Amino acid sequence: MEEIPFFSTSLPQKSTSTGDASSGRIQARRSSIMMAGLEVFSEKGYHLTAMDDIADRAGVSKPILYQHFPSKQELYLGVLDERVDVIVKQVSDAIESNTGNRARLEAAIACYYRLVDDADQGYRLIFESDFTTNNDVRARVEDVVSQVSRLVGNEVMRQTGMSMGEANILAGGLCGMAQAASWRWLRLGRPIPMEQAIAQTLDLAWHGLGAVTTKVSSPQADILHLEDRIG
């Protein structure tokens, strides 16, 4: 996985200023604590995680942990905020770095697959949180869905001339498809290579079910093909 800026434990460039050096050490420790929180929350969920678990994983004492985060909920929300920012930025960068509508759609779909492929590093924390009864957590989950749909919707609107409402409906469907398909791929144990799964999801999104070819003959498939010919 690419280095995550906020969680990077590498210190800033050395400075002759004692204050800058101290600030760098504090930030490095905070980043280490948040990375430990991400790992433990992803493994155990919010309710089964204790601050002792995170302190042990980060290699700090509980008093130091509480200096940075006064409560387990504040630490959880801090980690969640950072993960939301990362997901939105990855999708945004994927869309902006590609030319052509199909390439942009493929890049956005690939983001979901890469995220679930590294599910213990944030995707599960957002989309399978056991703490969504909390209003702050639920708001963040809804926010990441809204932000990503808005990014895709703006591109759909720009390319098609649709109204914002129309584009956002389509964008929501495309994002939901990518999220559901990638998560199902992971839950089935990655039965096909990721590149193949991305390509199949792209074909479905780009062409609809007409792009799915039947490899074997069956009564059901023959009926569908007959209906297509009649139509």
Beta strands in the chain, from DSSP E residues, in sequence order: none
Domains of the chain as residue ranges with CATH? 1-70 (1.10.10.60), 76-231 (1.10.357.10)
Element (H, E) at 65: helix 62-68
pLDDT tens digits, 121-179: 567 777 777 887 888 888 888 888 888 888 888 888 887 788 888 888 888 888 889 98
Tell me what pLDDT residue 9 has. 36
What's the CA gap between 137 and 77, in Å, rounded? 7
Tell me what pLDDT residue 191 has. 94
Average pLDDT over the chain, rounded to whole?
A: 79
pLDDT tens digits, 44-85: 888 999 999 999 999 999 999 999 999 999 999 998 888 888
What's the CA gap between 60 and 65, in Å, rounded? 7
| Pair 95, 84: CB distance under 8 Å | no
Among all chains, which residue has been given the structure tokens 């469907």?
Answer: 173
Residue 132: phi, psi to the nearest 5? -75, -5
- Confidence bin at 28 (pLDDT 50/70/90): confident
pLDDT at 225 over 70: no
Task: Report which of 39, 38, 37 is spatially closest to residue 51, judged by C-alpha positions.
Answer: 37
What's the CA gap between 209 and 93, in Å, rounded? 28
49-58, 85-94, 113-122, 185-194: range with lowest mean pLDDT: 113-122
Tell me what pLDDT residue 33 has. 94
